[in-house]
Structure 1
Amino acid sequence: MNVLVTGATGFVGGRLVAALLAETDHEVTVLVRDADGYEPPGELTVVEGDVLEPGSFEPALEDVDVAFYLIHAMDASGDFAGRDRRAARNFERAATGAGLERVIYLSGLGSDVDELSAHLASRREVESVLADGAAEVTVLRAAIIVGDGSASFRLLTQLATRLPVMVTPRWIHTECQPIAIDDVVAYCLAVLERPETAGETYEIGGPDVLTYRELLIRTAEIVVGRRPLIVPVPVLSPRVSAYWVGLVTDVSPTVAYPLIDGLRNPVVVDDDRLKRLVGLEPTPFDVAVRRAAGLEVDGDAAETTVSGGRIAE
């Protein structure tokens, strides 16, 4: 099978490419905007192009069977939802023209009955745009991905470890089901190898459902050995929260605001079909945090893993 990874220089994409090369026999192609600045982790095909520029990226789809679509424009200024929409439409049309069999897209958790934040609503729109094409789409919906390089986890970690006292809005009581990056990659590889997952939407998460208050406290205890004092207030808006976050963390404001806005939406797995199909034993939150922070985790060397996630015997 020839597999294309878009967003190969990103947090998830980079780890997925390495896992594809290490754990499968598939031919791997990556689409990057700057081929000269990309250092392949092994033998693969590198194609330079930009999905926002039709005509520049189509060669990457030649002879490809399945593509991972891992492109998000939230780190750019301006209308990220509009850019994500155009990019997905351009890719969908090119994939249809190339006769692609399947697209695997990493989206965001959140109930459709809720008023989704702009960030999560954009992820849903991309799902729909990709599904308009001839290729079947497999969607994986995840909440915060815990790992070194995750913007959302970096934001929360820096808040948890840099402030002894935090004044927070009501989102501090919202429930979240974070997932380790190793488990995300394991799920990506699992659906790639299972044709029956084509056309399906799956929710993926770790074993722990936490409020953001619990997430901040446990992260601080693991990383710096102390509990921050968290004082929730009802009047702190997401925009004001984002400005406050900008003073404390190094996360770009263009990323921080949509992430903070999204914290009002509960992001919890309601459908664990994929976990049961794959037989993945998800990584506990505390273990994922220790790995992300570069701290030693007891038993790591003895685990039987697929991309770090334990597969049930």
Structure 2
Amino acid sequence: MRILIVGATGFVGTRLTEALHAAGHDVVAFSRSASRSTFPDGVEVFEGDLGDPMSVAGLCEDVDAAYYLIHSLTAKNFAELDRTYARRFRKLASAAGVDRVVYLSGISGDERNLSPHLASRREVESVLEAGDFDLTVLRAAIIIGAGSASFRIVDDLTDRLPVMTVPKWVRTPCQPIGIADAVAYLVGVLDADETRGGIYDIGAPTVWSYESLLKLTAERKGKRVLIVPVPVMSPALSSHWLRLTTDVQYAIARPLVESMRNPVTVDADRDLQSVVPIEQTSVETAVRDALADG
């Protein structure tokens, strides 16, 4: 199968490219920096920018399935850009007769009072859904792995703050997933025709909170942290607090942390594990592996 990965140089994209290539697929790796990146021998490189229509001419030609992994968090107008890019990709994929598209989105709990980041993910889902192809949406919370911006925030906090005065939403329930499991699910849906047109949640076997995830990460590094939640620090205010506590680019960290007010756990009715069963990795193991690889 000839498969296009849009966003192939990102944290998920690089690993997905390797996994699909190893599985014997013909892989096309697309991004703005594709030619400056290292891919396995045999992977076709397509460098272009969805913001520049001329640079993406022919992107979807002869493509059977595509993974859409674009998220423009570094820009102030990321929602506008993501909308534009998704529409442009939808047009290209529909015109070329792409059969399937898989989009990696975000879990957002009860769908109310969404952060700008999660609202933008939902909008992109709607844009892609209107294409002339079968769309599969996988929604994930924090993806744990070396190179994950969300996990790096957690890692940095446990390095720098032995005592943390943090927002009360640090106790919001979340269901992270290790990067290996996320890739396994992304690959697995290709062979599951019943996932065409479906929306699924992916996560580890157990529910955590950001507080328990911070403590686990500290323990894995041989540290202890004291966490004191306070009610007065809003997500917007706490995003500014991140400037002092993490090296993650602020433009990325702010929308991610503003999303932490939303419970992000797997809905049993949308759990992909029931359709594409994999040997799931525990959060404890995912954290250990991420720290070892970091």
- Length-normalised TM-score, structure 1: 0.90
2:218 pairs with 1:227: no
State how 1:25-40 maps to structure 2 within 5 Å: 25-40=24-39
Structure 1 residue 112, shift from structure 2 partner: 4.3
State how 1:141-180 maps to structure 2 within 5 Å: 141-180=139-178
Preserved contact between residue 47 and residue 59 of structure 1 (Cα < 8 Å) = no
- Length-normalised TM-score, structure 2: 0.96
**Equivalent residue, structure 1, for 2:114:** 116
Q: Which amino acid aligns with 2:234?
A: S
**Equivalent residue, structure 2, for 1:262:** 259
Q: Secondary structure at the match of 2:3?
A: strand
Q: Secondary structure at the match of 1:61?
A: coil
2:245 pairs with 1:248: yes
How many residues align? The count is 292
Q: Deviations over 1:84-115 (max 9, x none)?
A: 11000110011111111111000000134421
State how 1:75-224 maps to structure 2 within 5 Å: 76-223=74-221
Structure 1 residue 197, shift from structure 2 partner: 1.1
CA distance, structure 1, for counterparts of residue 55 and residue 97 of structure 2: 18
CA distance, structure 1, for counterparts of residue 109 and residue 170 of structure 2: 18
Structure 1 residue 269, shift from structure 2 partner: 0.3
Preserved contact between residue 29 and residue 60 of structure 1 (Cα < 8 Å) = no
Gaps of 5+ in 1: 296-313
Percent of counterpart pairs with the same letter?
51
CA distance, structure 2, for counterparts of residue 287 and residue 227 of structure 1: 19
Q: Which amino acid aligns with 2:11?
A: F
Structure 1 residue 240, shift from structure 2 partner: 2.2
Gaps of 5+ in 2: none
Q: Secondary structure at the match of 1:293?
A: helix
Residue from 283, 288, 291 that aligns with 1:290: 288
Preserved contact between residue 35 and residue 45 of structure 2 (Cα < 8 Å) = no
**Equivalent residue, structure 2, for 1:311:** none
Preserved contact between residue 9 and residue 34 of structure 2 (Cα < 8 Å) = no
Preserved contact between residue 140 and residue 204 of structure 1 (Cα < 8 Å) = yes
2:9 pairs with 1:42: no
**Equivalent residue, structure 1, for 2:7:** 7
State how 1:37-76 maps to structure 2 within 5 Å: 37-74=36-73, 76=74
Would you identify which runs of 4 or more consecutive aligned residues in structure 1 move more than 6 Å?
Answer: none
Preserved contact between residue 31 and residue 57 of structure 1 (Cα < 8 Å) = no
Q: Secondary structure at the match of 2:58?
A: helix
Residue from 277, 280, 283 that aligns with 1:279: 277
Using a 3 Å threshold, how does the CA distance of structure 1 residues 192 and 158 change in structure 2: closer, same or farther?
A: same
Q: Secondary structure at the match of 1:55?
A: helix
Q: Deviations over 1:116-165 (max 9, x none)?
A: 11111110100000011101100000000000000001001111222101
CA RMSD of aligned residues (A): 1.3
Q: Which amino acid aligns with 1:20?
A: L
Deviation larger for 166-175 or 41-50: 41-50
CA distance, structure 2, for counterparts of residue 17 and residue 36 of structure 1: 14
CA distance, structure 2, for counterparts of residue 262 and residue 106 of structure 1: 16
